[in-house]
Structure formats: structure tokens, C-alpha cells
Amino acid sequence: MVDIPRERWMRFMNRFSRRHLCELATVETTADDHSAESHVRGLPLAGVITTWDASGDAHIAIEVFHGTMTRVRQTIDAPARILFQPGHGAEEELVIETDRSTTRLRCSAA
């Protein structure tokens, strides 16, 4: 896995979003207590958005299409680390870690 430096998060997410637009996405979050929750399974990716608030904290939003005009969003506040697993033509994965949970976004062509 490749550790993405914090100063490159926004640019990396923009490229990742363009490359995987409308590919089928799976989003799963595992909390520190090892409880897992699947938020999205097999919906087309709309994008991954990085924003920064006035205090300098980052926020990552993962959006998928649900239906014809609806987007579903999951926001990860205060990520500490972002890792990328290249797929070399197959499924690729982002791992977004906070101090309380780990969110995995996997994208694959339909």
C-alpha cells in the first residue's frame, strides 16, 4: 500500500474520482471495537471529495449514485492517514484511517 502525503490528498482524490467515475464501489467502515458496517455495496462512484475547515482539519466525503439523480454521501471527519492499494487494471482500494475507525473504498469496473 502507498501512504498518500497529507498535502497531496486533494489532488490524489480528484484523480482517483476521475479514474473511477461510475465504477462499482464498496464502502466499509470498521470501528476500533472491530464492529464492521457496510455502507455501500455495488453502487457507481460519483466521487471522493477532500475539504479543509478553518482549523485545518480535513474531511473526506465519498459519494455514490443511487438511482438516477440521487447521491449518497459518507463523510469521514479528521482522517489521520490515507493509503492506496493500486489494482493494476483490477480492483483498487483506498483506506482512510481516523483515530476511531478505518474506512475502505474499493472500486472495480462493471
Q: Are 25 and 40 in contact (CB under 8 A)?
A: yes
Going from the N-terminus, what domains does the chain have, and what CATH number goes with each?
Answer: 2-108 (2.70.180)
Read off the pLDDT of residues 75-87 as tens digits, 9 standing for 90 and up: 999 999 999 998 8
DSSP-based three-state secondary structure for 66: strand
> Buried (b) or exposed (e) across 26-49, using 16+ Cβ within 10 A?
bbebeeeeeeeeebbeebbbbbbb
Read off the pLDDT of residues 23-79 as tens digits, 9 standing for 90 and up: 999 999 998 876 767 678 889 999 999 999 999 999 999 999 988 777 888 999 999
pTM for this model (two decimals): 0.89
